Amino acid sequence: MTRQVWQIQLGATDKTTQVESLTYSTGRQTQFDSWGPGSLVLTILNNNGQANAYDLNDKIILTATGTSFYQWFYVQEVLFNDLAGNGKGSTATIICNDLVGRLGRIQVFEQDIPTDQTIKQLADAFDSLFPSGTGFTYIGGGDSIAAAEDKYTGTALNRMNLNMLTEQGWLGCTDERIYLYSRSEVEVFTSSITFARSASGSFQFGYSDIKRIALGSDYLNTCTVTPPVAPAQNAQNSTGVGFYDTYGTEFATVDDTGSQALSFAQWQVLTRSDPDELSFQISISDTANNLTEFFDSVYSNEPVVTVSYQKPGSGTNFNSTQIMQGFSMTVTPARTDIQVFTSPNNISYLTFFTLNSATNGVLDTSTLGW
């Protein structure tokens, strides 16, 4: 099978021959996690001071050769692994963050953020603070309205997570951008690739390991949502409480109205009501797959995938439509190993209606009015 080849640049300078191995992560493991910094960790040869070329905030470009995929990272830390004697076998670890991680280091002080659609609000508030040549690209301004905040003080990443939690959209970080998708845009995603027991065609990848995970600890039958502009709102699935007793959680959102927050709470207990709902962790590698189409799909932000699996003792194939929330990988000169994290069908998790919204309508007796 074709081995995936990688290129690592420090700015415009190719440093690939220095790199002994790398690890990479992006996204999140479940749809209920916050969006955290993606990372690139390089282990490089440092027998002659090669690590001295890496400074704070230097741009590192990771490229999957032969594919469309590339991504910018920024140096955050250098760890020197010095050996005794002449230091001939010394190495250094270069720790880099992606653009999401850079948002975690962008601290704003008393910034006025006006009411707007959840995703558009983010772009208007923070786009100018990114490193040169980078920023947000949003697809759909947002289907929920985010409340204003006078004199916001905190990181841009914290506010982004509040808005994305409220919106329940999807985020992709690739090339030199952060791509933000509203939930109505995520709803129309279609499946691009298939993970199966063995690869048998275009856009199909054979996995070496698969973990089939029931919803488990993410099961909910009661939910409280606290918006900044109204009292806390609560929703309960009484049938679920009757079956399993109370399993609850609480969210702090930036919903612009109490009714929008209540819709969010109702949606949470509705869509998280089945403890048998599946998600997956899937392992693939370039020892059994040509990864070109995988990285082309990642670059194009095509996260919906089909997972084909069999239950123990059964010869029947089951197919599950999932959304890829993130992935990690380990790269050595010999191979590229990837672990993919998925969550259930995006449509069942993203469709909900907000009442009393200037965008979506106001409940007006028997009709919707504006």
Contacts of 11 (CB under 8 A, 6+ apart): 58, 59, 61
Q: Please answer whether residues 126 and 103 qualify as being in contact, where contact means their C-beta atoms are separated by less than 8 angstroms.
A: yes
Give the pLDDT confidence score for residue 87 in this predicted structure.
65
- pLDDT for residue 126: 95
Rounded distance between C-alpha atoms, residue 209 and residue 80, angstroms:
34
pTM: 0.89
What pLDDT sits at residue 217?
65
Q: CB within 8 A of 75, min separation 6: which ones?
A: 54, 55, 56, 57, 58, 60, 94, 95, 96
Residue ranges in the chain whose pLDDT is less than 70? 1, 85-87, 215-217, 346-370
Helices 156-167, 118-126: inter-axial angle, 10-degree rounding: 170
Number of Cα atoms under 13 Å in the Cβ half of residue 332: 5
Do residues 70 and 176 make contact, with C-beta atoms less than 8 angstroms apart? no
Task: Quote the pLDDT of residue 113.
Answer: 97
Q: Provide the pLDDT for residue 89.
A: 87
- pLDDT tens by residue, 82-121: 987 666 789 999 999 999 999 999 999 999 999 999 999 9
**pLDDT for 165-220, tens place per residue?**
999 999 999 999 999 999 899 888 888 899 999 887 889 999 999 999 886 667 88
